[in-house]
Structure 1
């Protein structure tokens, strides 16, 4: 076979391979095999040393013509393959605008946060400020500043979790330490103190339908001159009616708390029977909702406040209990199980 016949054969085979290439990688391999440094046409050029002087220019011309033809056909084929890939991608990513859209899932506020935010906003409208503090507290602020010295029997009611061997630091059993810290800093010569302190608290307790070792509390404190029990009752009546309805009434029963004197338990008329007596309220017509009282003089003096000049009241409520009573939740553990089905029931309650 002459060199010209060999070139013609390479030409025919190369054009066929280019035409049948179905992807860019295959096409690039064909280009390398035909026109690369080690390709078939290069081999022909290297064999020209064996040709006569008369044949060399003719063979060189034919090889260059075939090389240019391959380059043109490869470019054309490459453009076709790229266009085909683009169309395939567009087809794959096409969006049918006539199909119904996928509904986006929107979460909702947790019921405890709904109740907390509601009471916070109401108290702010009464002139209170919201102050928060650390959940890991010192024994000094959690107990001693609250008129509960070491070995005081009232500590048994708030047995909590200590975080060091010296029993000097603990998970707070109430949000009262926030009040103690604020009392130390507040300048009463400039303004009275009206604050609420919401947050998580911890106590060693059984986990059952009505108890948890962790729950949410909101405490309120008002300190000024000439504050009386009437101010306390009016405030609690306003909060109860805001949360539970305008037809609710409250009553105050004598009780004991080491940080208030006198101290009271606060009941609200039963939601189920309106005060007539039923199984929900154990036929009393009343349901206990929180504790309160006039701030003990020792608490004020511990914080450096003159108890002869200033006085006030404090109250503390369990946000979990308020949520249970307001929305008829039967088990406190439902708040912490992260069951979306339970939480979705209260989506409409979120503001």
Structure 2
């Protein structure tokens, strides 16, 4: 039996010198040390030995097992290190490659405008909040006091996913979410993409960007709204800019208004761009938050009032940079983007 143990030891150690993979090493381990391995089979025969021989053979068997196990561990470590080295060599990155051809980008004019608007409202005490682009009909229409027969709820005007889920048609649902979560008082702005079915031309797109603001507190009046918007417009376009408020209808505000600003080309003097009126096209919509909207969000309309406003960021970007086609903002044409 001593000879068999010695033979197993020699064969195992010699065989492991030629192993090239962890899989082969595991096969050898099972072959020699497994439940049905060669060493285990030898140990099962020890019951036939005399009492004097058993401890001697048992000690030799343990020494053989330990030596084989140690050899397996050493070979395993060597194979793992070899694999690591080969992987590093294969995946090595040549950091000496010239980067002269790398092109560094910059802010898209739309993103620059969004950040400028958000920073401006933050300086006025507003908090920026965000919300999902896929919305519920409840938040997008019902809570905003839009009746079921309102044109914007028609299938031909809005991108519906299901009867109760749609792509938001404005960023107003963010205001609903904020009022439901935080209650009053509240002073927030939210910017993001919105979606409405529209034919693509130089001023229309089925995907566009909006920013909306909301203030809810005690004793909020139309005067607060006008003062806030006047400050915003002067800070954005210049101290000489004037505003004009025209009555309008929105289901979620009452009273409501559209806001015109001084023509950017002539600064109010009159020119062909503004048909000699001195006023540019309508910039934004606004109004006092309808009491039903407050109540839908769990806010006491007898105690709190508020105002809201919203505008197209694409339009502001076009006015700011003198663009005449909204499609330029979405074409990803480097010839256009590199100008900014």
Q: Same fold (TM over 0.5)?
A: yes
User: Which piece of structure 1 moves more, 247-256 or 208-217?
Assistant: 247-256
- C-alpha deviation, 1:187, in angstroms: 3.9
Choose which of 166, 169, 174 in structure 2 pairs with 1:173. 169
- What do the CA deviations read for 1:237-278 (whole angstroms, capped 9, x no partner)? 111112211211111111111111110100110011111222
Structure 1 residues 108 and 127 mapped into 2: Cα distance closer, same or farther (>3 Å)? same
Choose which of 146, 149, 154 in structure 2 pairs with 1:148. 146
3-state DSSP of counterpart to 1:308: coil
RMSD of equivalent CA atoms: 2.1
Contact 2:288 / 2:306 at 8 angstroms: preserved in 1? yes
- C-alpha deviation, 1:218, in angstroms: 0.3
Alignment of 1:283-298 (within 5 A): 283-287=276-280, 288-298=282-292
Q: Distance in 2 between matches of 1:136 and 1:285?
A: 40
Does 2:269 correspond to 1:276? yes
- C-alpha deviation, 1:283, in angstroms: 2.1
Structure 1 residues 116 and 101 mapped into 2: Cα distance closer, same or farther (>3 Å)? closer
Q: Distance in 2 between matches of 1:259 and 1:117?
A: 27
- What do the CA deviations read for 1:128-185 (whole angstroms, capped 9, x no partner)? 1111111010111000011013223454599210012xx2110000011110011111
Does 2:182 correspond to 1:186? yes
Contact 1:158 / 1:203 at 8 angstroms: preserved in 2? no
Query: Please, which runs of 5 or more residues in structure 2 have no aligned partner?
Result: 1-93
- C-alpha deviation, 1:290, in angstroms: 0.6
Choose which of 209, 214, 234 in structure 1 pairs with 2:202. 209
Does 2:296 correspond to 1:302? yes
Structure 1 residues 154 and 171 mapped into 2: Cα distance closer, same or farther (>3 Å)? closer
Q: Distance in 1 between matches of 2:201 and 2:130?
A: 28
- Which residue is equivalent to 2:259? 266
Alignment of 1:114-153 (within 5 A): 114-153=112-151
Does 2:336 correspond to 1:338? no
Choose which of 220, 229, 237 in structure 1 pairs with 2:230. 237
Q: Distance in 2 between matches of 1:246 and 1:107?
A: 32
Q: Distance in 1 between matches of 2:239 and 2:111?
A: 22
3-state DSSP of counterpart to 1:280: helix
- Which residue is equivalent to 1:53? none
Query: Please, which runs of 5 or more residues in structure 1 have no aligned partner?
Result: 1-92, 347-351
- What do the CA deviations read for 1:50-108 (whole angstroms, capped 9, x no partner)? xxxxxxxxxxxxxxxxxxxxxxxxxxxxxxxxxxxxxxxxxxx9x9xxxx983642101
Contact 1:293 / 1:315 at 8 angstroms: preserved in 2? yes
Alignment of 1:24-39 (within 5 A): none
Contact 1:243 / 1:326 at 8 angstroms: preserved in 2? no
Q: Distance in 1 between matches of 2:228 and 2:142?
A: 27
Higher-Rg member (1/2): 1
- Structure 1 outlier segments of 4+, above 4 Å: none
Instruction: Give the alignment's TM-score, normalised by structure 1.
Output: 0.67
Choose which of 245, 248, 252 in structure 1 pairs with 2:241. 248
